[in-house]
Amino acid sequence: MAFSEIIDSLVRIAGRENVLTEDEDRRVYSYDATSQWKAMPDAVVFPANTGQVEGIVRLADAKGVPLTPRGGGTNVSGGSVPIRGGIALVMTKMNRILSVEPENLSARVEAGAVLMDLQGALAARKLIFPPDPQSFLGATLGGIIAENAGGPVCVKYGVTKQYILGIKAVIPAAGRAVEFGGVTVKNVVGYDLVSLITGSEGTLGVITEAVLRLMPLPAARKTLLALFDDLPKAGEAVGMVFDSGTVPAKIELLDNWVIRSINRTAGMKLPENAAAMLMFELDGRPEAVESDAAKVMRVCMAAGATGTTAAGNDAEALSWWRARSAGFAAVFSAAPTVLAEDVTVPRSRMPEFIRKVTGICKTMGLEVTVIGHAGDGNLHPSVLTDQKNAAHFEKAKIAVDRIVEAAIEFGGVLSGEHGIGLEKMKFMRRTQDPFFIEAMKQIKKTFDPRGIMNPGKIWED
Amino acid sequence: MKTSGSLENIRKFRADVEQCMKCGFCGYFCPVYRESRMEKGLARGKNQLIKATLTGEQGLTRGFYEAIDNCLLCKTCVQYCPAKTRIDRAVTAARADYAADAGLPLAKSLVLRFVLPNRRLFGAALRFASWFQHVLPGSGGRFRHLPHFLAALGAGRTIPEIAPRFLRSLLPENNPAPGPARRRVAFFPGCAAEFVFPETAAMLVRTLNGLGCDVVLDRRQGCCGAAAYFSGDFETGRRLARKNVSALEGYDSIVTGCATCGAGLREYAVYLAGDAAEKRRLEAFASRVADFSEFVVMLLSENAGGLQLNPGFEGRKATWHDPCHLSRHQEIREQPRKILKAVAGLEFVEMPGADRCCGLGGSFSITHFEASKRIADLKAESIAASGANLVVTACPGCIIQLRDAISRRRMKVEVAHIGELFSVKGAARADNPG
Ligand SMILES: Cc1cc2nc3c(=O)[nH]c(=O)nc-3n(C[C@H](O)[C@H](O)[C@H](O)COP(=O)(O)OP(=O)(O)OC[C@H]3O[C@@H](n4cnc5c(N)ncnc54)[C@H](O)[C@@H]3O)c2cc1C
Ligand code: SF4
Ligand code: SF4
C-alpha cells in the first residue's frame, strides 16, 4: 500500500485539516527539547477523540506504520522524535479537563491537556496535582505520564506514578481503548498495569485520558536560598537538613554557571562567585512552615553556607522559582550540543558524586554544569560540547560515560526523570540486567505485537 | 522546493534566530498556538523553520510563508521566553527575506506601495469601497495588509465609519498653546487618527496644548509604515521611514496616540537602516518618539492630578487594555494606569490578563479571521470578569477589535481611547474641536 493511501485513510479518520504532510509541517515535529535528535515523520495527525485514536492505531498496526505519540514535545531524551518516520500522533488538540471532583480529590483529563492549564483550573478550587516537572508551561499530562515525570516537589510528594489512579489508553494488541486502574486510591485488582504504562515512553500504547489524584493546596509556602562557596558542601547540607527531621517540599541545587546565568537573564543579584546555591520550599501549616524555615537556615549555616535568605512574599518567591526554571532551561542550550545527564544517586552519596563529576570533567578539560533536584539525589550534570567538533564531542561522550558509570557505582540509576528515549539507550545494556531488558521486550510484544509504537526507543535492537 | 533567497535579513538577526532552545514554554503564552495547537503556529516552530533556512534545510517556500505569516508580532512569547528569544525580530526578518525573494502577493503590494504612502489616494480609496476592491484584485474583495486598524474593516467586523472630515481639514498645521509654550512638539496622528478617529486626535492635540505645548501637525509626514515593514515590505517601510524622519527629526518630541505608530516609528532603527550612519539617525529619531500617555505623565511630572474627567465618563468603572504595541513593543505599562487612577471621578479596576493580545495583529485579523475572533473573545471574557463598563486603551486597531468583540457578545461596555477621557484643568475643553 502506498503511503498516499495511508494518508487518505488518516484523512477519513481525523479530517483533512488534522492531517499534515507538507515539509514544513513535518519539520516542526522532527525535534524535541534536546539539541541533537531530529527525524521527520512522514505525516502528522491530530486526533480529536479516543475513537479517532483507535482508528489511527488500528490503521498503523494493520499497515505496520511507525506511530510516535507526542504531547508538548518538551522531553529531553529524544522520546517524541519519530526516528523511524511514519506518523507523528500529536495529542495537543485533545486538551480538555473533563472533570474535577474535590470530594474524591481527583480529576479526569484528556492526554493533551497542558499541566499549567490544569493547575490553573485546580487552583480555583484550592487543589493541586503535585508532580511539577519544570516544563509545566508546555508539557502535557500524556507526556508527563509517559515519562513518569518528576520535579522539585518529589522530595516530599513523590513522582507522577503516585498520582495516577487510572489511564485510558489505546493498545495495538487490543485494537481499542482499554481502561486501566480506576478512580479509587486503593486498587489491588491484579498486576499494576497503570504503573506499567506510566513511564512507558509511548512504546505500549497511546494514552488518551487519565484519572489523576489531587491534593489540597498547602495553606502556606516559604522559599529560602542558601549560598555556598563549594559545590559538594551544598550537597552535604541537603543530608543535614533531612537529618534534622525536616522534609522540605523542594530542594534545588544550582551551580555557579546557573547562578551567573540567572543574574543575567532574570536580573537577580546573587554573588557571582558563589559556587552553589540551594533553593528550598517549605509548605504546610503556616506555623510549621515558619519554624521549619528557621531550622533549615540554621542547618545550612552550620553546614558551611556563606549566607541564607528568605523570600519576603509570594511574588518574590515566584520570581525566584521562575529564575531557577529559566536557569535550568538555559543549561540545555548553553552550547551547540549539551549532553544533559539525568543520573540519580542516593542522597547520602551526592557530595562524593559531585566531586567525582567535576573531577572527571576537569581532568578532561571539559566544561560541565551541575544542577539538579538535590532533595532526591537527581542531578543533571551537563557537559557542554559541539557535535560538529568531532574531537571535542568524542571527549564529551567519554566523560558522560564515566559520569554514568560513577553514578551506577555509587548505587544510583541512569535516569531519574527524563526517561531513556534515544539519548540514554546506549547505556541500557551496560547498566541493566539482561533479564530486565528481555522482560520489557516481551511486555512490549504483548501490548504491541507488530512493534509500531514509538519504535527504536529505550533499548537497542 | 524553491531555493533560498538572499536571507540577508535572517542572517542579520541570526543571534535572535539561534537563541531558541526549544523548551516549549511559549506554548502556554502564544495566542496563535493556543488556538491552533499546531507547532507551526508556535513561536518555537516558527523559529526552528527560520533557523533551518540558515543550514539550507528549509527553503523560502509557500509553507514557510504560512508559518511566518501566522504571527501577531504580539511579543508575548518574547516576554516569557526564558532564553529571551526575540521571535518578533526573527519573524519580521524572515518576512522581509520572503518578500524580497518571492514578492508580496499582488494585492498586498499594491496597497502597501501605492495607496498608503499617498494619503490623498488613500482617503479617496476609503471613501469609495468599490474602487478599493478594484485595487485589490485576487483578494476576494477582502482587505489585506492594511494598517492594523483598517485590516479589521474586512471580514465582517462592525465597521467604523470613515470620518466625514479628515484630521488635516479639522485642524491647522500649527496649533499653538493658549499661554506661553513650554515646548514645541510634533503630533503624529497616523492613518487611523487621520481618517477614522480625527475627533479623538483633535482632543489629544488640545490636551497637549493645555499642558503648554505648541503642537505641529507637520504636513510632510505620512503613514508610519509599520503595516508595510512588519509584513516584510522593507522597501516601502524604508521609503516611509525616510519621509517621516526627514519631516520630523527636527522636533524634540514626536507624540502619537497610536500604539502601533509608536512602535513602528521606534523600530525603524531595528529593521530599516541601510548603514551604520542611518542606524544612528534612526535611533536618534526613535529616542524622540513618545506615546501620548507616556508624554502626558512626563509633562505632569508623574502627577496626573492636573487632569479632569470629561463629562460622560463620570462614575464609570474603567479598565485598561494593554496594546501589544504599547506594552511589549514600547514597555509602556504604568503611565496610562497612573492617569486612570489619578483622574477623579473614575473607578479603576485591573482585568485579568490585561496585557493579553486582542488578536488583531494587522493582516492576521483577515488572513486568520476565525482565530482572530476567538482570541478577541478571550479578551472580551477578561473584560467581563473585571466588571468594568469602560475599556480604555491607546491603539485604534485594538479599539476596533474590542468594539467588535464586545458588540458580538452584546456586552454593555464602551471602548475609548485614553485621550478621550480627560482634559487639562483650567484649559479650554476639547470636546468641541474644529
Ligand atoms: C526546560 C525543561 C525542564 C524540564 N524539567 C523537567 C522536570 O523537572 N522533571 C521531569 O521529569 N522532566 C522535565 N523535563 C522533561 C519533559 O518536560 C518531560 O519529560 C515531560 O513529561 C514531557 O511532556 P510532553 O507533553 O512534552 O511530552 P513529549 O515530549 O511530547 O513526549 C514525551 C514522551 O511521551 C510520549 N507521549 C507523549 N504523549 C503521549 C500519549 N498521550 N500517550 C503515550 N505516549 C505519549 C512520547 O512518545 C515521548 O516518548 C523538562 C524539559 C525541559 C525542556
Ligand atoms: S521561543 Fe523561547 S519559550 Fe519558545 S521554545 Fe524557544 S526558548 Fe522556549
Ligand atoms: S509574537 Fe505572538 S503570535 Fe507571534 S509567535 Fe510570539 S506569541 Fe505567538
pLDDT tens string, chain A, 461 residues long: the values are 589 999 999 999 999 999 999 999 999 999 999 878 999 999 999 999 999 999 999 999 999 999 999 999 999 999 999 999 999 999 999 999 999 999 999 999 999 999 999 999 999 999 999 999 999 999 999 999 999 999 899 999 999 999 999 999 999 999 999 999 988 888 888 999 999 999 999 999 999 999 999 999 999 999 999 999 999 999 999 999 999 999 999 999 999 999 998 888 777 888 899 999 999 999 999 999 999 999 999 999 999 999 999 999 999 999 899 888 888 777 877 788 888 899 999 999 999 999 999 999 999 999 999 989 999 999 999 999 988 899 999 999 999 999 999 999 999 999 988 999 998 998 999 889 999 999 999 999 999 999 999 999 999 88
Domain boundaries, chain A: 1-217, 218-332, 335-448
**Mean pLDDT within B396-413:** 91
**Which tops the pLDDT comparison, B135 or A267?**
A267
Residue B405 backbone dihedrals phi, psi, to 5 degrees: -65, -40
Instruction: Provide the pLDDT confidence category of residue B121 given band limits of 50, 70 and 90.
Output: low
Whole-number Å distance between alpha carbons of B6 and B9: 8
Do the strands B422-424 and B390-393 form a parallel or antiparallel pair, or are they unpaired?
unpaired
**Closest by CA position to A94, among listed A119, A116, A112, A71:** A112
Report if residue B53 sits inside a domain: yes
Model's pTM, two decimal places?
Answer: 0.91
Distance B36 CA to ligand 2 centre (A): 17
**Closest by CA position to B203, among listed B392, B423, B12:** B423
Ligand (nearest to CA of B34):
3
How much is the pLDDT for B139? 33
Q: Which CATH number applies to A218-332?
A: 3.30.70.2190
Q: Which of A56, A70, A91, A159 to mutate to test the pocket of ligand 1 (most atoms within 8 A of CB)?
A: A70
Min CA distance, B69 vs chain A (Å)?
13
**Mean pLDDT within B407-426:** 91
Whole-number Å distance between alpha carbons of A300 and A279: 11
Is A72 in Cβ contact with B24 (below 8 Å)?
yes
Q: Tens digit of pLDDT for each residue in A102-127?
A: 999 999 999 999 999 999 999 999 99
Measured between beta carbons, the chain B residues lying within 8 angstroms of A326 are 82-83
Is B28 in Cβ contact with A138 (below 8 Å)?
yes
Q: What's the CATH code of the domain at B346?
A: 3.40.50
Helix (H, G, I), strand (E, B) or coil at B245: helix
Residue A364: how many CB atoms within 10 A of its CB?
A: 14
How much is the pLDDT for B135? 31
Min CA distance, B320 vs chain A (Å)?
22
Is A139 in Cβ contact with B22 (below 8 Å)?
no
CB A244 within 8 A of CB A303: no
Measured between beta carbons, the chain A residues lying within 8 angstroms of B58 are 23-24, 27
Q: Is the per-residue pLDDT at B115 higher than 70? A: no
Mean pLDDT of chain B: 85
Residue with cell 501620548: B292
Report if residue B276 sits inside a domain: no
Report if residue B193 sits inside a domain: no
Report if residue B370 sits inside a domain: yes
**Mean pLDDT within B178-185:** 86
Whether A138 has its CB under 8 Å from any CB of chain B: the answer is yes
Report if residue B310 sits inside a domain: yes
Report if residue B249 sits inside a domain: no
Whole-number Å distance between alpha carbons of B395 and B418: 9
CB B424 within 8 A of CB B211: yes
Protein residue with its CA nearest to atom 4 in ligand 3: B71
CB B91 within 8 A of CB B50: yes
| Domains A1-217 and A218-332 fall in the same CATH topology | no
**Mean pLDDT within B248-255:** 96
Whole-number Å distance between alpha carbons of B287 and B47: 29
Q: Is the per-residue pLDDT at B103 higher than 80? A: no
Ligand 2 pocket, residue B24 CB under 6 Å: yes
Whether B52 has its CB under 8 Å from any CB of chain A: the answer is yes
Q: Is the per-residue pLDDT at B180 higher than 90? A: no
Q: What's the CATH code of the domain at B68?
A: 1.10.1060.10
Cell readout for B338 is 497612573
Min CA distance, A15 vs chain B (Å)?
15
- The 8-class DSSP code of residue B66 comes to H
ipTM: 0.92
Q: Is the per-residue pLDDT at B302 higher than 80? A: no
Instruction: Provide the pLDDT confidence category of residue B238 given band limits of 50, 70 and 90.
Output: very high
How much is the pLDDT for B155? 45
Measured between beta carbons, the chain A residues lying within 8 angstroms of B57 are 27
According to CATH, the topology of domain A335-448 is: Alpha-Beta Plaits (3.30.70)
**Residues whose CB is less than 8 angstroms from the CB of residue A420 and which lie 6 or more positions away in sequence, other chains included:** A77, A201, A414, A428, A457, A458, A459
**Owning domain of residue B379:** 299-424
Instruction: Provide the pLDDT confidence category of residue B13 given band limits of 50, 70 and 90.
Output: very high
- The answer to which of A127-141, A268-282, B347-361, B364-378 has the lowest mean pLDDT is B364-378
**Mean pLDDT within B175-184:** 88
Cell readout for B241 is 521611514
Distance B21 CA to ligand 2 centre (A): 6
Whole-number Å distance between alpha carbons of B355 and B319: 11
Residue A97 backbone dihedrals phi, psi, to 5 degrees: -95, 110
**Residues whose CB is less than 8 angstroms from the CB of residue A17 and which lie 6 or more positions away in sequence, other chains included:** none
Run of H or E including B99: helix B87-102
Whole-number Å distance between alpha carbons of B235 and B258: 23
**Mean pLDDT within B167-196:** 88
Q: Is the per-residue pLDDT at B109 higher than 60? A: no
Tell me the residues of chain A between 151 and 210 that have a Cβ less than 8 Å away from chain B: none
Tell me the residues of chain A between 255 and 274 that have a Cβ less than 8 Å away from chain B: 265
Q: Which atom of ligand 3 is nearest to the CA of B324?
A: 2
Q: Is the per-residue pLDDT at B152 higher than 50? A: no
Most confident of A155-164, B139-148, B302-311: A155-164
Helix (H, G, I), strand (E, B) or coil at A184: coil
> Per the structure, how many domains does chain B have?
2
Sign of the alpha-carbon dihedral angle for B77, B79, B85, B91: positive
Q: Is the per-residue pLDDT at B105 higher than 70? A: no
- The answer to which of A421-425, B160-164, B341-345 has the lowest mean pLDDT is B160-164
Polymer length in residues for chain B: 434
How much is the pLDDT for B400? 86
Report if residue B33 sits inside a domain: yes
Distance B382 CA to ligand 3 centre (A): 20
CATH number for A1-217: choose from 3.40.50.1000, 3.30.465.10, 1.10.3720.10, 3.90.180.10. Answer: 3.30.465.10
Measured between beta carbons, the chain B residues lying within 8 angstroms of A117 are 28
Polymer length in residues for chain A: 461
Distance A331 CA to ligand 1 centre (A): 17
Minimum Cα–Cα distance from A114: chain B residue: B28
Report if residue B188 sits inside a domain: no
Q: How far is CA B356 from CA A30, A344, B231, B382, in A?
A: 30, 40, 21, 9
Q: Tens digit of pLDDT for each residue in B20-78?
A: 989 999 999 999 999 999 999 999 999 999 999 999 999 999 999 999 999 999 999 99
